[in-house]
Amino acid sequence: MDLRQAVFVLLILQGLASRTLYCLASQTCKDNDIRTAVLLNRETQTNLREMKLDMEQQLQNQGQELTQMQEQLNSLIDIADTVKDLKKEIETLKTAVVETTVNVTSSSIYTRWGRRSCPDDTELVYEGFAGGGDYHDYGASSNYICLPKDPIFVGEGSNTGYANYIYGAEYETNGTTILSTLNDHDVPCAVCRVAGRSIVMIPARNVCYSGWQKEYSGYLMSSYYGHLGNKELVCMDGSPEAAEGSDSRNQNGALFYIAEIKCGSLKCPPYLANEVITCVVCSK
| Whether residue 259 sits in one domain with residue 213 | yes
Q: Is residue 206 part of a domain?
A: yes
Please state the pTM of the whole predicted model. 0.61
Given pLDDT bands bounded at 50, 70 and 90, which one contains residue 257? very high
Q: Which residue has the higher pLDDT, 232 or 24?
A: 232
Q: Is residue 115 part of a domain?
A: yes
Region for 65 from its dihedrals, namely left if φ exceeds 0, alpha if ψ lies in -120 to 50, beta otherwise: alpha
Q: Which range among 39-48, 67-76, 170-179, 245-254 shows the weakest confidence by mean pLDDT?
A: 39-48
| Whether residue 237 sits in one domain with residue 118 | yes
What percent of the chain lies above the pLDDT cut of 70? 79
- Residue ending a domain, among 61, 80, 99, is 80
Q: Is residue 36 part of a domain?
A: yes
Q: Is residue 279 part of a domain?
A: yes
Given a cut of 80, is residue 51 above it in pLDDT?
no
Contact yes or no for 208/202 (Cβ under 8 A): yes
| Whether residue 203 sits in one domain with residue 113 | yes
| Whether residue 171 sits in one domain with residue 39 | no
Given pLDDT bands bounded at 50, 70 and 90, which one contains residue 177? confident
Q: Is residue 188 part of a domain?
A: yes
Q: Is residue 86 part of a domain?
A: no
* Residue of 263, 180, 226, 133 whose CA lies nearest to 277: 263
| Whether residue 146 sits in one domain with residue 276 | yes
| Whether residue 188 sits in one domain with residue 226 | yes
| Whether residue 177 sits in one domain with residue 263 | yes
Contact yes or no for 238/217 (Cβ under 8 A): yes
| Whether residue 224 sits in one domain with residue 117 | yes
Q: Is residue 215 part of a domain?
A: yes
| Whether residue 144 sits in one domain with residue 50 | no
Please state, in angstroms and as integers, the Cα–Cα distance from residue 15 to each residue in 20, 30, 111, 258, following that order. 9, 18, 110, 125
Enclosing domain of residue 246? 108-150+163-283
What percent of the chain lies above the pLDDT cut of 90? 43
Following DSSP, what letter does each residue of 33-83 receive, concatenated?
Answer: HHHHHHHHHHHHHHHHHHHHHHHHHHHHHHHHHHHHHHHHHHHHHHHHHHH
How many domains are there within the chain?
A: 2
| Whether residue 112 sits in one domain with residue 239 | yes
Q: Is residue 103 part of a domain?
A: no
Given a cut of 90, is residue 144 above it in pLDDT?
yes
Given a cut of 60, is residue 1 above it in pLDDT?
no
DSSP character for 192?
E
| Whether residue 61 sits in one domain with residue 178 | no
Arithmetic mean of pLDDT, 141-162:
83
pLDDT value at position 3? 53
